[in-house]
Amino acid sequence: MMKSGYMASKQITLGVGIPMIIVGALIALLWAPVEIELGETVEFVGSLIGILGVVFFIAGLFYTKEPVLQ
């Protein structure tokens, strides 16, 4: 039972959290400086995606299918 909860948390962490962090960083660091008119907006969106990736990453670390409170 513990292994299935661990696998779900690993899938959330590796499948959602880390790619969102990478994509957000790439958008903020590579695309925003190229954009002249909307550079600040693109940087904000990239940072927001990265922050949400960190939230998903942390949530994946604490995720379990077993109830904590009974």
Q: Quick check: 55 pLDDT over 60?
A: yes
In a domain, 68, yes or no: no
Place 3 in a pLDDT band, splitting at 50, 70 and 90: low
Does 67 reside within a domain? no
Determine the average pLDDT of the residues in 14-27: 91
In a domain, 1, yes or no: no
Overall domain count for the chain: 1
Residue 3 lies in a domain: no
What contacts 23, CB < 8 A, 6 or more positions away? 46, 49, 50, 53
Q: Which residues contact 11 (CB under 8 A, 6 or more apart)?
A: 60
pTM of the model: 0.76
Query: Which range of residues forms the domain containing residue 36?
Result: 8-62
- As a whole number, mean pLDDT of residues 4-26 equals 82
37 pLDDT more than 70:
yes
Q: Left if phi > 0, otherwise alpha if psi is -120 to 50, otherwise beta: which for 43? A: alpha
2 lies in some domain: no
